[in-house]
Amino acid sequence: MIEIRGHHLLCAVTFTGRGYSRRFERDFRRVVARMNDNEEMVIVAGPDAICASVKDCAGSHCHEERIVARDRAALAEISALTGRVLDVGSRLMPHDLFNARHRKAFDDGTIRAACTDCQWADLCDRIAEDGFHAALLDTR
């Protein structure tokens, strides 16, 4: 089972292989491969499978309140989009979430409140504007 924090349900949609470090990129690639295989996900509070290599590093933001707030914002908007309340402990299948509707909502900003002040937002904007062609996540 993939442990995933709320805002990473957004990040996964535009992940192209770039990240904070080579180890982080490796971990994220592995998680996206598992998502593409439709492995069940469980929403967790705080660091998840993507954060594995950086959560204990000096300067890591994994536990900061602003990041926890991103998780809450992402879960609230994705819950509204799907009509299903998502919170810590919720389980879901990647192929049930990551689809054209999710991408459209990301692209039009419907589920982007969590992206405010994110250093990756401009990159994600460009990936969405390009039709997500470089993204590694399969959104059938």
**Residue 72 belongs to a domain:** yes
Q: Per residue, what are the HEC states of 14-40?
A: HCCCCCCCHHHHHHHHHHHHHHHCCCC
In a domain, 140, yes or no: no
Instruction: Note whether residue 88 is domain-resident.
Output: yes
What's the half-sphere exposure (Cβ side, CA atoms, 13 Å) at 67?
15
3-state secondary structure of 3: strand
- Considering the entire predicted model, what is its pTM? 0.91
| pLDDT 10s digits, 17-58 | 988 788 889 999 999 999 999 999 999 998 899 887 765 555
29: in domain: yes
d(CA 61, CA 130): 29
Binned at pLDDT 50, 70 and 90, residue 65 comes out as: confident
Q: Does residue 134 form part of some domain? A: no
Q: Which is higher by pLDDT, 139 or 69? A: 69
Q: Would the pLDDT of 63 be above 80? A: no
**Contact assessment for residue 45 and residue 6, using Cβ atoms and an 8 Å cutoff:** no
The pLDDT score that the predictor gives to residue 23 is 87
Q: What are phi and psi of 2, to 5 degrees?
A: -90, 120
Tokens of 123: 């990159």
- Number of domains comprising the chain: 1
- Each residue's pLDDT tens digit, 85-138: 999 999 999 999 999 999 999 999 999 999 998 999 999 999 999 999 999 998
pLDDT at 60 over 70: no
Is 135 part of any domain?
no
Tokens of 21: 């470090």
Domain membership flag for residue 18? yes
Does residue 78 sit within a domain? yes
Q: Residue 66: give the domain boundaries.
A: 2-129
Strand-by-strand arrangement of the 2-4 sheet: 2-4, 41-43, 91-92
The pair of three-digit structure tokens given for residue 11, joined into one six-digit string = 């990040």
Task: State how far the Cα of 53 lies from the Cα of 119, in Å rounded to an integer.
Answer: 19
